[in-house]
Structure 1
């Protein structure tokens, strides 16, 4: 069965919940999954100014952190981030910016990959964040696996074919089951294609 790395950054917990649902979906196919959060970059005095951020930060201090080895180990990747002005969060971007060595060796090519996000507003940059994050995957030579409109759960979560997204509003709350269902479908779909690509074996020759 495939090995899937679900790597994310979450400031208040919504993306963490999405990541867990994606991981659950991949595990439902029998995949081996590593769920990893990237390190926080913001200074503590800034985090303390927002109660939800501070609470989430403290709760995740002992959580396993993402490492480059997780990417090399995996047959497929799922990356999650909140939107930051229509772009991925700096915390996730910083981690991804350290992958140059793996990229140069071709260690990230020909693997399945997918992305997901959350924003406070319905038009807060969810689609542009996913598309911006996918630019990295093109450079890697990864095979982008979007959810598309391949399952009814995608429509139930708002109908984003690029990747599961959640409009959080101002409240910190549990994700609706409809959104979790869409994220689980995305995880299953990723694992399915990762298994197919891994079964092919050798990368496509130039």
Structure 2
């Protein structure tokens, strides 16, 4: 019989493989981490959201999502609109850094409420998060039978470790982003990633 530790390790590695990728959510966490702005609530929302979805998937919610393709389609359109809009804002920041002092800090300060709503949108308007957590991880967990909740714990742990490392580790890049041009390049990259992801959802 599989041990709890083995199931948890499998969940950790499987979760990490799904989470560690260039995406809209990771790009936003990175940007806010470099700015050292609202990092704790942003990391907490990302990790807790993944944990809730993983638990729901292991508990059988994935079958309901798979049976309701219209829900995923609705999320896809909303997510695409949000990503493209955010990408255009990032492109505007990259092209029009009117105030160099503000640009050196990545732009003006973001209110906590705005940061929370933005990271919630990046998390919950991403149709892939439902397919990855509710459907895929939920399906894989069934192969671990009685140890499926240890698998879920490992997958949720991967999310916590990744977002904590990304959010708080990003400050190591602060010296590089002391120059306005570095922020303009980062915003240009974010703009390309966001708009490309949005278009990919529409296609």
What TM-score does the superposition give when structure 1 sets the normalisation length?
A: 0.28
What TM-score does the superposition give when structure 2 sets the normalisation length?
A: 0.29
Q: Which has the higher helix share?
A: 2
Q: Relative contact order: is structure 1 or structure 2 higher (C-alpha 8 Å, sep ≥ 6)?
A: 2
- The structure whose Rg is larger is 2
